[in-house]
Amino acid sequence: MFVQQAIAILDSGVGGLTVVKEVMRQLPREKIIYFGDTARTPYGPRSSEEVLLFTQQIVEYLIQFQPKMIVIACNTATAVALEQIRAMVNVPVVGVIHPGARAAINATETGFVGVIGTEGTIRSGAYVQALREISPHIEVVSEACPKFVPLVEKGMFSDEVTWKTVKESLEHLRYKPIDCLILGCTHYPFLMEPIAEVMGPNVKLISSADETAREISTILYQYGQLAKVDDLPVHQFFCSGEPKIFQQIAQEWLREHLETAPVVWQVPNFL
Amino acid sequence: MFVQQAIAILDSGVGGLTVVKEVMRQLPREKIIYFGDTARTPYGPRSSEEVLLFTQQIVEYLIQFQPKMIVIACNTATAVALEQIRAMVNVPVVGVIHPGARAAINATETGFVGVIGTEGTIRSGAYVQALREISPHIEVVSEACPKFVPLVEKGMFSDEVTWKTVKESLEHLRYKPIDCLILGCTHYPFLMEPIAEVMGPNVKLISSADETAREISTILYQYGQLAKVDDLPVHQFFCSGEPKIFQQIAQEWLREHLETAPVVWQVPNFL
């Protein structure tokens, strides 16, 4: 029996679904196995040790499916665990920080780049490091937006309180001379509309989700691993918490790429 | 003595300098060794066998410098020789067709994509294949523009005859319902201004040069091979023909990234 090797994608919750959507759009032949750690979201305020441990546990769960690639579709986990996960598995591991950094380097004309992310991501300095490692003269302004992830996990993408929160959180950044802003958390594309409105038309928004999907394509091609199948793949979704809200968000967010409602399996007693 | 490993970039002539410029902009720490086969340009009208042979000869010349990556910065040569060159060397080999295809898949909203290139590239069907291999429902309209490369090799980027040629060559494409156009020849970004003017503001132009630089960055990062140096690298330029026009074009095109005029070495008796 032919079993198509999947791309395994993990996140602290629903945020990685923004990467999933872009993989479905840009790589429609690829099968996806997703894990959202909804029982333990958000990762942003947690210690590095805890985020590393959780990420390792999820990867151990996912490798039983023999994926051809692991995507850490969570900026907080990428900042903390990318190198360790690379050392742990035998397949390519892709994080979400360098793709956003590279897209910003490509997009910026002034060399002034903004980054928003969770406290964990911003505190780690991972974006500043990724940007400077590649391009030493880039100027970076960062801002942690700890209130965004909980709103997204509740499915509140366009409520009044969401608009107010986005406006207040980006207040400092609005007057900085940046020409692009990295959405340095995979949850943030759910809030694309209010973020774009607040930042105005002169700031290009860079979704680490879009850019990661693009780089997944690059790397699979380079390793000769792009899917060759003609049938639409059947994806699998897992989460550690109660699957109801996860399933609603997945269905709404991914509906144009799914023929039927996604089946979401809860992985009980995950720890 | 520390010798920085370079990225080796080759083309039929000056076209690959558009990739060089983007590598200098997006990866300022990377050292470049460039080879332009100006004595035998253009490659577009040549047979596949000839283009393959020329590409192999150039790669044989370049590997003496022990580069960490080979970039075939010529669409015609990528279409014909990418797989053979991959089998020939032990370092990653990057072509310019898949990067443009992936960028178009990322950029298009309607799914209608245009491609322009040399006769060789268009005849090979390599873009249609790359696009469909990844995304089966993309609609592609292709057009060979054989007059563009000779104009660029003479440095005629904005002459009256150039504008007229661009207008006539793109006449068919102007009324097609495409929302992005892949400049499927690394020479074409030299003609960005007239091409943009003729195609109008609703067609996004995708430079395979920009996108290839971005993918070079992705792949070097994935292999842990990004340059770590702080000093500005010293690049090396070689060509097979008379170096005067090549040097003028290189100097004009790359001046914002070079402190002094580029030294261009002619490789005599190349065959």
Q: Which residues of A are catalytic?
A: 74, 185
Short-list A27, A31, A233, CA closest to B131: A27
Cβ(B143)–Cβ(B114) under 8 Å? yes
| pLDDT band at residue A31 under the 50/70/90 scheme | very high
pLDDT at B2 over 80: no
- B67-103 pLDDT, tens digit per residue, is 999 999 999 999 999 999 999 999 999 999 999 999 9
Q: What pLDDT was estimated at residue A271?
A: 58
Q: What pLDDT was estimated at residue A186?
A: 94
Assigned token pair, A197: 């409105």
The contacts of residue B108 (CB under 8 Å, 6+ apart) are B138, B179, B180
Q: How many residues are recorded in chain B?
A: 271
Distance CA B141, CA B176 (A): 8
Q: How many residues are recorded in chain A?
A: 271
- B32-66 pLDDT, tens digit per residue, is 999 999 999 999 999 999 999 999 999 999 999 99
Q: What pLDDT was estimated at residue A248?
A: 94
Q: Best interface-test mutation with B: which of A26, A134, A135, A232 has the largest number of B CBs within 10 A?
A: A134
Cβ(A51)–Cβ(A42) under 8 Å? no
Candidates A106, A213, A214; nearest CB to B210: A106
- The backbone torsions φ and ψ at residue B123, rounded to the nearest 5 degrees and listed phi first, read -60, -35
Q: Tell if the CB–CB gap between A226 and B133 is shorter than 8 Å.
A: yes
Answer whether A102 touches B (CB < 8 Å).
yes
Q: What pLDDT was estimated at residue B1?
A: 64
**In the predicted model, what is the mean pLDDT of residues B208-237?**
91
pLDDT at B17 over 80: yes
| pLDDT band at residue B126 under the 50/70/90 scheme | very high
| pLDDT band at residue A210 under the 50/70/90 scheme | confident
Query: One-letter amino acid identity for A58?
Result: I
Query: One-letter amino acid identity for B59?
Result: V
What percentage of chain B has pLDDT greater than the value 70? Answer: 99
What residues of A are in contact with residue B218 (Cβ under 8 Å)?
98-99, 102, 215, 218-219
pLDDT at A269 over 70: no
Q: What CA dihedral angle connects A199, A200, A204 and A210, to 10 degrees?
A: 70
Q: B216 to chain A: nearest residue by CA?
A: A218
pLDDT at A270 over 70: no
Answer whether A137 touches B (CB < 8 Å).
yes
| pLDDT band at residue A261 under the 50/70/90 scheme | confident
Q: Which residue has the tokens 């897992």?
A: A238
Assigned token pair, A77: 């986990």
Distance CA A186, CA A100 (A): 11
Q: What pLDDT was estimated at residue A232?
A: 81
Cβ(A127)–Cβ(A140) under 8 Å? yes
Q: What pLDDT was estimated at residue B11?
A: 96
The contacts of residue A24 (CB under 8 Å, 6+ apart) are A32, A254, A257
DSSP secondary structure letters along B160-172? HHHHHHHHHHTTT
What percentage of chain A has pLDDT greater than the value 70? Answer: 99
| pLDDT band at residue A15 under the 50/70/90 scheme | very high
pLDDT at A179 over 90: yes
**In the predicted model, what is the mean pLDDT of residues B210-221?**
94
Q: Tell if the CB–CB gap between A106 and B135 is shorter than 8 Å.
A: no
Among residues B74, B145, B180, B239, the one annotated as catalytic is B74
Cβ(A209)–Cβ(A24) under 8 Å? no
Interface of A with B in 78-97 (CB under 8 A): 92, 94
Q: What pLDDT was estimated at residue B269?
A: 66
Longest dimension (CA), chain A: 58
From residue B20, alpha-carbon distances to A150, B24, B186, B208, B245 in Å are 44, 6, 10, 12, 17
Q: Best interface-test mutation with B: which of A133, A207, A214, A256 has the largest number of B CBs within 10 A?
A: A214
- A233-256 pLDDT, tens digit per residue, is 899 999 999 899 999 999 999 999
- A81-137 pLDDT, tens digit per residue, is 999 999 999 999 999 999 999 999 989 999 999 999 999 999 999 999 999 999 998
Cβ(B111)–Cβ(B139) under 8 Å? yes
**In the predicted model, what is the mean pLDDT of residues B207-231?**
91
Distance CA A122, CA A142 (A): 7
pLDDT at B271 over 80: no
What percentage of chain B has pLDDT greater than the value 90? Answer: 88
Distance CA A179, CA B66 (A): 38
Distance CA B23, CA B219 (A): 13
pLDDT at B263 over 90: no
Assigned token pair, B159: 């002459």
Q: Tell if the CB–CB gap between A92 and B226 is shorter than 8 Å.
A: no
Q: What pLDDT was estimated at residue B123?
A: 93
Distance CA A161, CA A189 (A): 17
